[in-house]
Every structure is written in C-alpha cells, then in structure tokens.
Structure 1
Amino acid sequence: MMRWLIGMLALLWPVSATAQGVDPALLVADMVYVESEDVLVAQGNVEAIYDGRRLNASRVVYDDANGTLSIEGPIRITEPNGDVLTATSATLDEGFENGILAGARIVLDEQLQLAAVEARRLGGRYTQLSRVVVTSCQVCGRNQAPLWSIRADRVVHDEEERQIYFDNAVFRVLDVPVFYFPRLRIPDPTLDRARGFLPPEVRTSSLLGFGAKLPYFIPIGAHQDVTVSPYLTTESRTLELRYRRAFTYGDIVVNTAVSRDSLIDDLRSYVFVEGSFDLPRNFKLDFGFQSVSDDAYLDVYGYSSADRLKNFAEISRYDRNTAFSASTSVYETLRDEDTTETRPSTILDMTYEQRIFLPRVPGEFRLNADAHGHYRPSDLDIDGPDEDNVVDGRDVAQFSVTASWRDRYTLPGGIRAGLLGQVSGDAIRIAQDATSEPQADVLTPAAALELRWPFIRRGRGGARTLIEPLAQIAWSGGERPTTAADESTRQEFDEGNLLSISRFPSTDRRERGRVTALGVRWHHQDPIGWDAGLTLGQVWRDDADPAVTKSSGLSEAESDLLIATHFATAGGFRISGRGLLDFDAADFSKAEARIDWETRRLELGASYLLLKADAAENRDDPQSEWTLDAAYDFTRAWSADGYWRYDLSDNRSDRAGLGVTWQNECVSAELSVSRRFASSTNLEPSTDFGLVVSLKGFSTGGSAKEYRRTCSTF
C-alpha cells in the first residue's frame, strides 16, 4: 500500500508536463524522492506507464529539464501491441520513443526474438539494433545454439510498416552458416500481407521429375494481391499465378499456370476464375470460368482432380418468403470415354418460389415456376456408336408451374397430420430426337395426406427415446408425357424423400397414381453420451413404374426396404449407413456406410460404397469402393496423415497418399508422397513426392504461438 501511496504522490510532481497538455507518466516504486528541483528518482520495483507503454526496472532517474529517463536494469518495456523489449540499462525520453538501450532483446508478437548488443529507439517508430541475432526458436542454456538463426551487423524494425530490415545477414542452421544476404527484408509476425517469398516447396514426380516451387507474394494496395510461383523441374518449366481482389461488395480469384514440358510438344496452360458479388436489392451474383489446354494437364500438375470443366453465372436472392435463382452453365468433359458433343454442354435454369399467407385462411400457399433448357452440340437425332441409350443430339426445353397449399394439424392422441394439395403444369419441347414426340403439355393434379405419431419416453438422468411411425397416402393424376425423359434418368430413394409426392429429380417425369409410404423412425439419446438412430421405410404403388431404374429401389410396385442408421459415442466414435434391401435377391441394390473415430490424437475414417449393375444407368458391372483416411499425432512434434481409395470392382487401388509432419516452436517441415493409379487412357500413373519447410515467427511462415516447449532443468 505504501508503494502505491508514494507513487500517487509522484504523479503530482511533473507540473510542467501537465501545463503543456502532456499526460504525465504513472510511476510506482518502493521509494520515490526528489533529488533536486528537476530530478525525480524512483528505485526498487519501479513500474511506469505512459501512453499505453509499461516500463519495469530496478531504478529510474527522471530529469524533467531534459525530458530524459536514465534506467537501470533489468529493464522490461511492454508496448501496447504486446511486443516486449528487455535491456540491462537505457537512456530514453519521457515518452519511451527515443533513446539507447544496452544489451537489448526484443520479442515481437510473443514469437520472434531479436537480441542485440545495443538498440536505439528513434521517433517512436524505428528500433535500430547492432550486432543482432534473430530467431523464433527456444534457446536453452548459454552455449546451446538455436535450430536456426539470422545474424546481422544491423537490424532496423519499422513498427509502422511492420517490416524488419537486415544488413549483412547470415542464415545459420545449428550455428552453421548456410546463406549470406547483403540485404534482407522480412515482415514481422503481426503483418498479414507483405511483399516477399513464401515457403518454398520441393517436389519429385515420376512424370515431371525433380523440381522446386518458389512462390513470391506481391500485395497491390489493401484490396488485391498477386502470387507468382515459378516451378522448375527436370522435365518442365512452369509459371503459376494467383490474383485476388476484394471489392466493396464482392471478390474475385484467378488461378492460372503456363507450362512447357517433355510430355507433349505444345504449350500447356489452364485458367480458373471464381467470383461472388452482392447486387442491389439483396441479389447475389456468383460466376466461374474454367479452361485447360489438354485433358491431362490439371491432374498431372496437381491443380485439380475435376474430370469436367464448368463455366457458369448465377443470380439469386433468398428471403423469408421468396426464393429466386437464374443460372447458365457450360460444361466441357475431360474424360476420354466422354465427348462434349453428345452431353448437355449448355444448360439454362430458372426457379422462383413464393410463399403466400392469406388472412383468415389456414395453411400456406406456394407458387413455383421453373424453366430449364439444355443443348447438345451434336446434330444426330439418333443414338450414335456410344450405345448409352441417349440420343446424341437431343435438345430439351421445359417450363413448369406449380400452385400448392399445405397445412399441419395435431389430432387427438398426439397424431400430427399434414395435408398437401397441388396442381402442376408442364410444357416440354424436344428437338433432334427421332425416338421422341417433339412436345408435350401435361397437367398434373396431386394430393397427399401425411401422418406422424411421435412417442417420447424419458428415462433416468435425462435419457430420451423417440419412436415415430410415419405414413403417407399420395395421389397424382394426369397422363405421363410422351416425350423422352432426359433429366430424370437417375432416381434416389432415401429418408429425405420417403414422404414425397414425386421422387423424380426433375419435372420431366412425375410419379402417377396412388402411392403409399410407410416407415418408422427411432432415435435415442443417452446422458452418458451415446446417440443412436434407425429409419425404416417402404413404398407401394398400384403398378410398377417403367421410368424408374432398377438400382433406385423403386422400379417394382413394392419398393426395396430403405434402411438408414447411425450410432455415435461421446468418445468420438460414429458410424452411419444407408441401403436399399432387395427382398427378391436378398441383397442390397445400393448401399453406403461411413465410420469415424476421433480422439485427442487420432482421426480415423473409412467409407464404403456399393452400386449394383444397372443397364438403365449405363452401368454394366457392379461398382464398389473403399476409402480410408487417417491422421495421428505421435507427439507434439510428429504427426502423420494418409488416405487410400480402392476400387473393389476392378480390384485395384485408385489413389493413395501419406504425409509426415515435424514441427517445433520455430520450424515446420512436411514430407508427402502420393500415388495415382490411373485407368483412363488420357492419364498415366504417377508418383509424387513433396517437401515444404517453413520458418515460424514470420507472417509468411506461420505462427509460433501455438507450440511452446520448456527447457529441461537437469
């Protein structure tokens, strides 16, 4: 208490400073006394605060006439941004902005350490250090060398620009000189965007040979930047470029590269553009552009695994009662077994939905309008030699309008009932198809009654169990259009559309007649942390629907049994699965499953997918595959991750990869290897190795705050 009382008395002393409009420093010490008319002495646990800066020292002598502070150490100065400066002795002005410090050591953003024989503070902005050692590594013991360091004759830290400048710098590894730089500039840890080199990457590819990539980042003002990455290998020369720009109401990103290699004679390149903008009246614009010189370029260089290019533009707006979207897309296939000529390459879509609530009228009205069109470049009006059961040149346009009303009620016994009535009109036009009628205009009335009867049981400690029987009776009238189905060629049956009027993905086909769906949902939550669920469902029709594929599980009058389940524990284990059980074959026609296990150190996952053969979906043989992915932290320093994808139908691996990472508080190194087992004729199998080493503590190398280690005391 005496320290604080004496310190408060000291605040009244610098009268000349307050008279000039300058805030006096707050000074606290074990002892404060006036040595002469203009000299104030504080000693013993001295703490001074001025303009957000905090000074700790053993003795401070303040000369009011000269406006200087003579300080005896150990000294510690903490800046408002958290930077720390220590020294053995110092002479500073009263604002800590100018002066000389002996035996100085600066810690920037709790990461980067700069130790010097002497430091000079200039203008409150610059700190000039002489005979400097810079590192972000923990140094234990006087004779122990850091893993890496930079020694320089002079270092200047610009606090305003957040840059560090070196003169005659030598980069050392375990105190062994490796590189010499006459001049060197690096950003300090607090700067997010700074011109300079990013961490280099070393790669070895069985197709491209040994090479290195050295990205260089160039900010262009506060809202845009360019990253230029030369990539040189024994078999190729590549220049990569990424451009980013942020606007007031959106942003745009451009990724591109140009290559010359020994694999093909021509120049190779690609361009990917993505953008998103907010428009007036809550509209939003999204667009993308993709182009590549040849089919294999993206995969060989690792830019993308896409096998189709998509160029699109979409305008949308969504709010509480309306939804609107209009888009155009142009696709280009990269698959050797496909051709863009016979696939819908240009697609136009528009959808609008409006919710309407009328006074004194129960329920909710909805009005939907959908327009769609797609174009195939081929002029053939028959199926060509590909034998995919699709006419090569078929072009389609359709317009649909649906008016519906729906409401929900609670009946005696807790039964929840839902009513739905709707009328849909579809106008379909088809060109260049000798097998189909050129047009169809169809009116489809429909109605559905949905019943849910939830039973909830509460057990000890907060356990809850839900059993909910589900039922729906739906009817759709009208005649099926005589035009060919070009969109509803694949159907899915899952728990999301168990209770639905139509399970076709598009309006060129709708379910007809009476359809009954029954199901049950069970869900349990236990207070000890485990959770489980099961959904069973089945659909019955008056007659089988020939427009539905066999593997969808809906082709017969009595559908396959839908089974969906999940189980999860508090320990991070989770399993989920979904399948369609074919009673006639006593087997699953379609199934998928996923298992995940996550602990503090382990992440393990596995997926399984099964699709039975179905000629209607151009699948002559069954398809199934396994995928495995895992990550494990062996120690704080060592970790590994990997993946493996195996095609069970062809009995071959498709892709595999493994990465090992080592890191401490100042270095991060990642070694990776990947293998692509290509089966396509336009791709070759390849193996790639990669190595990335980053020095932490700079804004370009990653943060060093998350990793801390302590020095051993024995």
Structure 2
Amino acid sequence: MRRLEPSSGFAASEQPTARPAANRRARRLRRFLLGATALLCLWRLDLAAAQASDSPVNLIADEAGYDQELGVYVARGHVEMAQDDRVVMADTITYNERSKTISASGNVTLLMPSGDTVFANYVDLSDDFQNGVIKSFRALLKDKSRLAAYSAHRVNGTKQILNKAVYTPCLPCKTDPTRQPVWQIKADQVVRDEEAQTITYHGAWMEMWGVPVFYTPFFQHPDVDVKRQSGLLNPTFSVSSGRSGVQLRQPYFVTMGDDKDVTITPIARVMGEPDPAGGVLMGEYRQRVPNGVFTLAASGTYEAEPEDDDEDNRKLRGHVAGQGLFDLSRDWRWGFNFKNTTDRDYLRQYHLGSRRWLEDTLWSEGFFGRSYFEARGYGWQTTDDDLRDDTAPIIAPLLNYNFTSEPGAGGGYWGLDVGMMNLVRREGRDAFRVSMHPSWNLPYTSSWGDVWELNLSVAADLYATNRTDPESDNFDASEDTPTFDGVTGRVFPQGSLKWRYPFVKPGETFTQVLQPIVQLVMSPDCCNTGKIPNEDSRAFEWDDTKVFAPDRFTGLDRVDAGSRVNYGFDWSAYNNSGGRAEVFLGQSYQFIRSRDEPENSGIRSDLTDLVGRVALQPNELLNATYRFRFNVEDAKMKRQEVSLTAGPQEFYGSVNYIHLSDNDDFGSREQIYGSLNTKFLDYWSASAGASYDLVENEVNGLYGGFGYNDECFGFNINAQYSPDGDTDISSGKFAAFVTFTFKNLGDIGASF
C-alpha cells in the first residue's frame, strides 16, 4: 500500500533534479489525485465536495508509475482509492496530462457515502470535472432499488444523462434471478439537471411482469435529494351512483419556500345530480412558523344542491377547514381546529370528509409543576338531516384547572379541580357553571400486604340557567313546558375507603393472583335537583370498569349520590409462555340509594346488576373476552359482549357479539359481526366480514377485500355494502376502493 500526498513524488525511479520539475510533478500529482477523487463523486455529482475536501487520498495498487513520454500517471492491478467514506475500485486508473482526462477501467466499483454502489466497465472524466462518461452503468441504491443504463454522461458540469435507462425497486426473484421484475420503468433517455433539481424522462414506459402497460413521451419529477418541489401530484378517481357522479381530482403542489406550500386541487364531476356536470376548486395552505404549524383549506363551486330538482337554482357551495398547534412557551401551547360547510350534502357529494357533527375548537393549555390548566371553546355544525344546528351547543369558554400536591405525612396528598363552563344555544337551554372540587387521598399498605385507600372530597357547584325543564333532561323544552330560569347550586361531600388484598401463588408452569376488593362509599342522597341542567352526564354505562369508581358519572352535572358497599374479586393467571387468563366479578349494595339513577342503568335497585369480565389468551392463536351485566332480581342478562379471535396470522377469524336489553337511548339491540382474514403465498391476502342484526333479522353490513403487497408493489381492492347507504364515499348502498401502490412513486387509487 502506498499513501500519496499531493506534495510527494509518484514514481520511485524518478528523482527530482530541480525545484521547478518537482513543482510540476507535484501539480500533476495533485491533479491526478483530485481527478481520481472526483471519480468517487461522479455518480452523486457532488464534485465540489471532492475538490473542497482536505482529507488525503489512500491508494492501494499492485503497481503505480508515471510515463513521462506519454504524460500518463497509472495505477493498475486491484486498484483501490479511498477518501473519507468514498471508495473506488478498478483494474486500472490513469490520468493523461495531454488530454486532461482521468479514467478508470475494468470492474469499476464506486462505494458512495449514501450507501449507493455503482458498477461500470469504463469511466472517463475531464480534469475540469465538467464532462464525463460511464459505460455499462449499473447502480444498487441504498434502498435496494436498481438502476441501469447503457451509458451515463456528465455534460457541462450541470447535467447527467442516462441513455437506455431501466429502474426498478423490486428485488430479483430468489429462485430465478433472470425473471422479469414485478414492475420497472424504462426510458430512452433520463436527464438529471443539477440546477433545476429535476429528473426528466423522455420516451418512458412502465412494464409489469415484462409487459408494457403505460407509456409517456415526457415525465418529470424532483431530484432524489429534493424533498419538496412544485408539480403535479398523483390523481384520484371516483365513481358513485346518484349525486356524486364520476369525479377526477388532480392536485398541483406549489412550494413557497422551506416553511410553506400550497396545494391546488380541481375536482371535475360528470354524471352527477342535479347538474350532469360540475366541479370544485379546492386549495390547502400549510406553513410552519417558529413556534408551530398550521393548515388552512377551502373549496367552492357554483351549482345547485343535489336535492334541488331545478338545476338552474345555482348558488355558492363550499367549505372551509383548518387546524394549528403553537407553543407559547416551555409550559404553554394553544391550537385551533375548525370545519364548516354551506350545506349538509356538499362534503359527502365531493368526498371531503363528512361526519354527523363538524367541530370547531379553540384551545390553550399549560403544564407546570403538578398543575394543569386548559381553556377551550367549542361549536358544532351538523350534516345529518335528522339533527338541528340551532339546538347544538356553543361552549365558550370552558375552563379547567387541576392540581395535585406532593405526598405529605403518611403519603397523603391533596387535589383540587376548579372549572367554569358557559353553554348557550340559539334554541333551547342555556347553562353557566362554576365548580370547585377539593379532595384528599391517603394510600396505605400494611405490614400484612393488604392495600388501603382513603378518599375524601367535596363538590361545590354554582349554576345559572334558563329554559331548564325540571322534570327531564330535554334541552329543547316546548313552549308549553314549565321551565326554570335562575341561579341554583349545591355542596356535595363524599368519602370512600377501599381495601384489597392480593394473594399470589407461584407455580412451576403458571402463577395465580387472587385479589378480593371491598369499598365503602358514603355520601348523602341529595343534590341532583331538576333545576340543575344535565349537559355532560347524560350517558351512563354500568360495567366492570365502574364498580370501584367513587363517581360513576362521566361529567360534573350529576353527582353520584347515596351510600353503598362495592365488592368483588379479580383472579388472574399467567403461564411461562406469556399466556394469561382473568376473571372479574363485581357488584354494589346501596344501603342509601339515590332517587335519581337513570332508568335501566343497572344501579336503580338496592342490589345493583352483577357485572363481570372473563378473558382468556392461552397462546398467540387464541384471544377471547366475555363481558356481561346480569340483573339478579329478574335473573336476566342485560348486556353481553363477546370478542373472539382465533388462528395464526396466515388464517384467522374473529367474532364479535353484543346484546343490549332495554336501553333507553336505542331500545333492545342484538348484533353479531364475523370476519375471516388470510395471508397466503407470501404476498397475497384476503378478508371478508358481515354484520347481522338479530333483532330485525337483517344484514346491516358486508365487507370484503383482496390484495397483493410485496416489497415494491401493492394492489388492493375493498368493497362494502351498507343498507343505509349515503356514506362519505358513496351516496348509494355499495362502495368499492381500488389502490395501486408503487414503491418510491406513490399510490394511484379509485373509488366506486
């Protein structure tokens, strides 16, 4: 191995006779080494990096010398040159002073810092690094993609031209490497422009399994190192019956700098209702600012609504949307989120994301020490024909402050929750609430191993309300209904003492844990007066997660009045292979029962419904869970849920069953859903599912999917059937989705 510096001589047989001659040789040697280093950078076109590097060039060769008569420096025989993390290997590397070119020939290999590896038969580069050629060009990129060309030319120092180029990210077939890849792109010529930072294809076509499927005379995309550049994005296509019709959207992306961009998307529609043709122009603006990021979007069209039989009744239709998140300081941040539309059908008609309720939110929150503060404002707009905007609440502001102290004497700690809510409606009940809930908790573990937890709390709430129906939770009372307007409040104390004793029994194959739990909850039977509006505690579900909760309601407008004893046990077992089993049973005895429990809630009698959970997962092939609520007085199941998944990843099925009895909001419900999923032949998959209403004896949903996904290509088709129809994708009962995924190119999809 010989390590050459630009100031050293090259051939051992040539001795310097004078300083000018030595200087000339040093200059020649410097150009040789610089040119050889440029070979290391030719593929990535970062020749400036080679010229600017101060690192020495390490050379390994069987022999090296200088032919003074021909003016050629030569290194031959297993030549390897390295600078920094670049390596070039070849049979021969030469520098010709007269033609001012440097070349490498014979088994040329270039190892790049990016992880790319380039192979060639011959490389030639001018000593000004402006022009060069690579013959029989082949490259293995760092992501295992492959690129090949008959030749690669560097022109005027700014362009690289690949002739007869082929690109594919697909790995060769293991059993037959000569087999055609799943897909590849071929082009007569590919031009990579450093100044414009683009890659342009001339006469390009795509082949799948060796069969041409698409041709384009011209195609251009950003350079491989460019993360953002203006240009067309992938189009999407959808076909729907009725009002949506056939739609094609073609986004165009415009970068406005490193911190902001705009996407403009025209949507063309034909065969829709009531107009046979129409369209939408949509735009989205994104920007990063020093302390956050935000997105604003809007769309619009001028046409008649789908339900209007007269297509001449055109009007402006559209939507606006946005979201943002910003840091105010290390401890504070704020954000917003909004989405609104001109009419109920617009978002569904153009597949722009339509939920039953569109939510507008403005919020701020702070985290400091053991405290948390939030301020929020909410507004809603409905897209459901059966709901009304004028009865939707507007909440501004909603304030909450939570504090938990450091543990004090005996491990006890204080807590404080303070809040304010102002809720108004255009039509219906209004409410203003101020609340303060101090609490004190004391956990204790005795020397015997049993665990105690004492909790004391007081809820103090003040309300100002109007149009409140004292006899019901209806927020839109009729004009004939007597309502309450005024100020009211309450002070509600509550205490609880919880005891549990975990017994652990280890074994050779599995470990068991049995834990009996008893809790006493004490509070007066008061304070849920009808004059206090119920806005946030309307939904109640009695299940295994609520048994040992001192407050079983979800919000603040209803307090969990009365006194009771909660009891139950939790048994679990774990085997050495990771399997587990669990059984939980729980119930409450209410010796001072509240008179305000919800109907059919499971807690309206002295002895509440028995709730439980059984879970079993003996191995990775089976996972089953059963949850229930059983009425002991009527000896009747009120709620049952079954979830079962069985089988290996190659073929597994799942069943979900739910039964609700005498539910106030929905009545009795009983449904079952089943699905089958399979993966076969390495890359293929299929799935199917169905949902059946056992009360109405009808199918209420079907689903099916089929796909192929390998390391470079994916094809997926999914279909669903809903008797209700009118989904966000399709205005009919049936919807289908087809997606093609090409690695490094993106997705192309359509919906029907």
TM-score, length of structure 2 as denominator length: 0.80
Aligned with residue 503 of structure 2, among 446, 455, 478: 455
Answering whether residue 367 of structure 2 is matched by residue 331 of structure 1, we say no
How many residues are aligned here?
A: 676
User: 1:454 is matched by which residue type in structure 2?
Assistant: P
> Is 2:5–2:56's contact at 8 Å kept on the other side of the alignment?
no
Aligned counterpart in structure 2 of residue 76 of structure 1, from 105, 109, 112? 109
Structure 1 range deviating more: 15-24 or 571-580: 15-24
Find the aligned partners of 1:98 and 1:628 in 2 and give their Cα distance: 65
Distance 2:182 2:582 in 1: 52
1:155 offset after TM fit, Å? 1.9
Write out per-residue CA displacement over residues 245-293 of structure 1, whole angstroms, 9 at most, x where no aligned residue: 3333222234544465883445543333222222225122132111123
Q: Which shifted more, 300-309 or 354-363?
A: 354-363
CA–CA separation in structure 1 for the residues paired with 2:651 and 2:540: 37
CA RMSD of aligned residues (A): 3.6
Question: Residues 430-441 of structure 1 correspond to what in structure 2 (within 5 A)?
Answer: 430-433=465-468, 434-436=482-484, 438-441=486-489
Contact 1:202/1:691 (<8 A) preserved: no
Hey, what's the Cα distance between the residues in 2 that align with 1:359 and 1:262?
65
Equivalent residues of 2:431, 2:533 under 8 A apart: no
Classify 1:544/1:187 alpha carbon distance in 2 versus 1 (closer, same or farther; 3 Å). Answer: same
Change (3 A) 1:40 1:573: farther
Q: State the 1:160 CA deviation.
A: 8.0
Which residues of structure 2 form unaligned runs of 5+? 11-25, 35-52, 273-278, 469-481
Residue 491 of structure 1 pairs with residue 540 of structure 2: yes
Shift of 1:227: 3.3
**Secondary structure class of the residue paired with 1:396:** strand
Tell me the SS of whatever aligns to 1:298: helix
- Equivalent residue number for residue 91 of structure 2: 58
C-alpha displacement of 1:535: 1.7
**SS of equivalent to 1:294:** coil
Deviation of 1:241 (Å): 3.8
User: 1:580, 1:529 → 2: CA distance?
Assistant: 29
Contact 2:705–2:719 (Cα < 8 Å) also in 1: yes
Distance in structure 2 (CA, Å) of the matches to 1:695 and 1:368:
53
CA drift at 1:517: 0.6
Q: Aligned with 1:446: secondary structure? A: strand
1:408 aligns with 2:454: no
- Is 1:225 the counterpart of 2:256? The answer is no
Asked if 1 retains the 8 angstrom alpha-carbon contact of 2:563 and 2:593, the reply is no
- Correspondence 1:514 to 2:563: yes
Q: Distance in 1 between matches of 2:324 and 2:653?
A: 35
SS in 1 for 2:115: coil
**Partner residue of 1:163?**
198
- Partner Cα separation in structure 1 for residue 89 and residue 227 of structure 2: 30
Which amino acid in structure 2 is aligned with residue 511 of structure 1?
D
- Alpha-carbon distance, 1:431 to partner: 0.6
- TM-score, normalised relative to structure 1: 0.84
The answer for the alignment partner of 1:625 in structure 2 is 671
Contact 2:525 2:592 survives alignment (8 Å) = no
Given the alignment, which residue of 199, 214, 228 partners 1:193?
Answer: 228
- Tell me if the contact between 1:428 and 1:439 (Cα under 8 Å) persists in the aligned partners: yes
In structure 1, the residue matched to 2:294 is 252
Q: Distance in 1 between matches of 2:118 and 2:235?
A: 31
> Is 2:457 the counterpart of 1:422?
yes
The residue that corresponds to 2:433 in the other structure is 398
Q: Compared with structure 1, are the counterparts of its residues 573 and 66 closer, same or farther at alpha carbon in structure 2 (3 Å cutoff)?
A: farther
The one of 64, 67, 70 equivalent to 1:36 is 67
> Where do residues 623-702 of structure 1 align in structure 2 (5 Å cutoff)?
623-628=669-674, 631-678=677-724, 685-698=732-745, 700=746
Determine if contact 1:130/1:154 at 8 Å carries over to the other structure.
yes
Q: Whole-Å Cα distance in 1 between the matches of residues 268 and 165 of structure 2?
A: 35
| 1:350-383: CA deviation from partner (whole Å, max 9, x where unpaired) | 21111223765751011111222322222xxxxx
Unaligned runs of 5+ residues in structure 1 are: 1-5, 379-392, 703-714
- In structure 2, distance between residues paired with 1:607 and 1:162: 53
* Other structure's SS at 1:542 match: strand
From 621, 627, 630, the counterpart of 1:581: 630
Distance 1:97 1:495 in 2: 75
Matches within 5 A, 1:300-319: 300-304=349-353, 306-319=355-368
Q: Tell me if the contact between 1:40 and 1:61 (Cα under 8 Å) persists in the aligned partners.
A: yes
User: Whose RCO is larger (CA < 8 A, sep 6+)?
Assistant: 1
Q: CA deviation at 1:559?
A: 0.7
Q: Name the CA distance, whole Å, in 2 between partners of 1:368 and 1:396.
A: 20
Whether the 8 Å CA contact 1:202–1:692 is kept in 2: the answer is no
Determine the structure 1 residue equivalent to 2:306: 263
1:479 aligns to 2:565 (yes or no): no
Cα distance between partner residues in 2 of 1:275 and 1:692: 30
Equivalent positions of 1:242-391 (< 5 A) are 242-258=284-300, 263-264=306-307, 265=311, 266=314, 268-304=317-353, 306-346=355-395, 348-357=397-406, 362-378=411-427
Correspondences of 1:195-214 after superposition (within 5 Å): 195-207=230-242, 208-214=244-250
Report the Cα offset of residue 516 of structure 1: 1.0
Q: Quick check: 2:725–2:734 contact (8 Å CA) kept in 1?
A: no
Letter in 2 for 1:252: F
Tell me, yes or no, if the aligned pair for 1:109 and 1:189 is still in contact at 8 Å: no
Structure-2 residue corresponding to 1:381: none
Letter in 2 for 1:219: T
Q: Distance in 2 between matches of 1:694 and 1:198?
A: 14
* 1:87 pairs with one of 117, 120, 144: 120
The answer to whether the 8 Å contact 1:139/1:146 transfers is yes
